[in-house]
Amino acid sequence: MVRGKTQLKRIENTTSRQATFSKRRKGLLKKASELSVLCDADVAVIIFSPRGKLNQYASSSMEETIERYKRQVKNTQDSTSPFVDQNAQPLKHEAQRMSKKIEQLETSKRKLLGEDLGKCSIRGLQKLERQLDRSISIIRARKTSLYRNLIEQLKEKERILVAENAVLREKLRLDPHQISNEDNATVSIVETAFSIGLPQILNYTLFLQQ
């Protein structure tokens, strides 16, 4: 007769649960003894019943086996700690390096703003002055480039206004009576803008030449 597979869950019936505990406890202790004899293994088993009764088996001394277990667990934990520290060490060094770099940048920033200069030597101040001169040269070059672009834009507007002015004057020369009041106002605006725009362009040109 094929034996059915026992479902692993708590046995609700108290009598059946106690009988199963007693039977399986004896079987477990017997297997532990057999394992110790057949394989020359140091085996220790500790069982507490549902009522708190102690049941145990040890192939040698239970106390010595427990102490051996504690030492083994401690050695295992100690052996894994250096591995964790070894992996964390590069990250720690990188964090320290980045923190030092940020501190250096903050110090350099304060010096460029003219702060915390009391500890600077003559050589340090000269180096800082050269850095500022290079920065000013770059800023001036960028400003000059922007002025030149602005002058080119103004010159282009000037050419457009001159062309529009020429067209309106030609229309006025051919037939003065066909020019409406709106066209006359446009001529006046173009001439005014043209007369105002030229000195600005000349001023920008003189500034660049200086």
What is the residue-level pLDDT of the chain in tens, covering all 210 positions?
455 666 778 888 888 888 999 999 999 999 999 999 999 888 999 999 888 888 899 988 889 889 988 888 888 776 655 555 566 777 888 888 898 889 888 888 888 888 878 888 888 889 889 989 999 999 999 999 999 999 999 999 999 999 999 999 888 887 655 555 555 555 454 444 444 444 444 444 444 444
- Whether this prediction's pTM lies above 0.75 is answered by no
Q: Express each pLDDT in 100-129 by its tens digit.
A: 889 888 888 888 888 878 888 888 889 889
DSSP secondary structure code for residue 80 in this structure: H
> Alpha-carbon dihedral of residues 85, 91, 92, 95, nearest 10 degrees?
-170
The span from the CA of 14 to the CA of 24, in Å, is: 15
Q: Express each pLDDT in 125-156 by its tens digit.
A: 898 899 899 999 999 999 999 999 999 999 99
**Helix, strand, coil share (%) of the chain residues, nearest 5:** 75, 5, 20
The residue ranges of every structural domain in the chain are 14-60, 77-117, 135-209
Give just the sign of the alpha carbon dihedral 136, 141, 142, 143. Answer: positive
Contact yes or no for 120/128 (Cβ under 8 A): yes
Residue whose C-alpha is closest to residue 115's, from 124, 123, 107: 107
Contacts of 161 (CB under 8 A, 6+ apart): 190, 193, 194, 197
Residue whose C-alpha is closest to residue 46's, from 31, 64, 27, 25: 25
Q: Is 180 left (phi over 0), alpha (psi -120 to 50) or beta?
A: beta
> Alpha-carbon dihedral of residues 17, 19, 21, 24, nearest 10 degrees?
-130
pLDDT for the residue 207: 44
Q: So what's the architecture of 14-60 in CATH? A: 3-Layer(aba) Sandwich (3.40)
